[in-house]
């Protein structure tokens, strides 16, 4: 049985928290997933850093108690990664916390949220995410004549609007975030569905074939997404004659 994207363009969330510690006590991950978010749960700073090197979560939630690094240090690390500059970061603190708070201007999180029950925390996360995801922070990804707007969820090619389902949209976003890389099926699966939602590799192939068809300017055009045998997929370089 495969796991589908729960709702159109569900935010991808990284939760960094020690196993069996603060955030797991309020079942935050389950509550986020029930609310339509796609989650990945890492239980150490090192694991979270490895994930951030290869993925672009919309939201990063860091527990104040984290193995190997403080929450502020992990936040500052994320701020050094250029493609994460639009990610919204939250640090969850306890009511008795004496954490040294760092401002957004200093590389800190968008917000420190007090540790409470899961429902209240998710409400605050949603509200802050909406507020900080303003038109001014809109990001447009491009590859030759293909354009993807992350605020309006609009995809165009040569100014022609292309209608994509939520899964195909996220897969295209993944390719446009890494336009020069060969992407394995495992990498695409983690980016689109999160590490906690394993799916069959055949499902990825089906969605990529749908995306290839949708992106074609004409039936005879070569696919924009190429298959690299035994490795995965990559974007094809488009010649000037094709534009």
Q: What is the pLDDT of residues 199-213, one digit of tens each?
A: 787 889 999 999 999
Residues 38 and 58: beta-carbon distance below 8 Å: no
CA dihedral 18, 20, 26, 31 (to 10 degrees): 80
CA dihedral 169, 174, 175, 179 (to 10 degrees): 140
Confidence at 60, pLDDT banded by 50, 70, 90: very high
Domain with CATH 1.10.10.10 in the chain: 140-235
Please state, for a pLDDT cut of 70, what percent of the chain lies above it. 82
6 has a pLDDT exceeding 50: no
Average of per-residue pLDDT across 170-175:
91
Residues written for the chain: 243
- Positive or negative torsion for Cα 130, 132, 137, 143: negative
Residue 20's pLDDT is 52
Residues 146 and 138: beta-carbon distance below 8 Å: no
Average pLDDT, the chain: 81
CATH for 12-133 is 3.40.50.2300
Residue 3's pLDDT is 42
Residue 138's pLDDT is 61
C-alpha 120/C-alpha 23 separation (Å) is 13
Does this model's pTM top 0.75? My answer is no
Distance, C-alpha 123 to centroid of its chain = 20
Give the tens place of pLDDT for each residue, 87-100: 889 988 876 565 67
Distance, C-alpha 56 to centroid of its chain = 4
Average of per-residue pLDDT across 57-62:
90
Could you identify the residue written with the tokens 């935050």?
28
Please state, for a pLDDT cut of 90, what percent of the chain lies above it. 21
Domain with CATH 3.40.50.2300 in the chain: 12-133
Looking at CATH, the fold of the domain delimited by 140-235 is given as: Arc Repressor Mutant, subunit A (1.10.10)
Give the tens place of pLDDT for each residue, 139-154: 788 898 999 988 788 9
Do strands 146-149 and 154-157 pair parallel, antiparallel, or not at all (unpaired)? antiparallel
C-alpha 15/C-alpha 13 separation (Å) is 6
- Positive or negative torsion for Cα 41, 135, 10, 197: negative
Spatial strand order of the sheet with 160-162 comes to 140-143, 146-149, 154-157, 160-162
3-state secondary structure of 193: helix
């Amino acid at each position: 049985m495969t796991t589908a994207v729960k709702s159109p363009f569900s935010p991808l969330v990284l939760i960094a928290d020690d196993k069996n510690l603060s955030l797991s006590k309020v079942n935050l991950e389950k509550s986020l997933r029930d609310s339509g978010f796609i989650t990945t749960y890492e239980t150490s700073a090192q694991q979270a850093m490895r994930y951030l090197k290869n993925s672009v979560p919309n939201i990063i939630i860091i527990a104040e108690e984290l193995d190997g690094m403080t929450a502020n240090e992990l936040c500052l690390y994320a701020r050094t990664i250029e493609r994460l500059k639009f990610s919204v970061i939250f640090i969850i603190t306890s009511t008795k916390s004496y954490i040294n708070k760092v401002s957004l201007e200093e590389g800190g999180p968008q917000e420190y949220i007090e540790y409470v029950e899961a429902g209240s925390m998710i409400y605050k996360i949603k509200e802050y995410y909406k507020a900080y995801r303003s038109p001014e922070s809109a990001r447009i990804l491009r590859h030759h004549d293909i354009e993807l707007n992350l605020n309006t969820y609009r995809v165009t090619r040569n100014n022609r609007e292309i209608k994509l389902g939520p899964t195909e949209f996220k897969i295209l976003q993944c390719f446009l975030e890494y336009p020069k890389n060969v992407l394995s099926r495992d990498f695409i699966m983690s980016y689109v569905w999160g590490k906690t939602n394993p799916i069959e590799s055949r499902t990825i192939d089906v969605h990529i074939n749908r995306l290839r068809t949708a992106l074609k300017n004409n039936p005879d055009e070569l696919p924009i997404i190429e298959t690299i045998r035994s490795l995965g997929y990559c974007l094809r370089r488009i010649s000037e004659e094709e534009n």
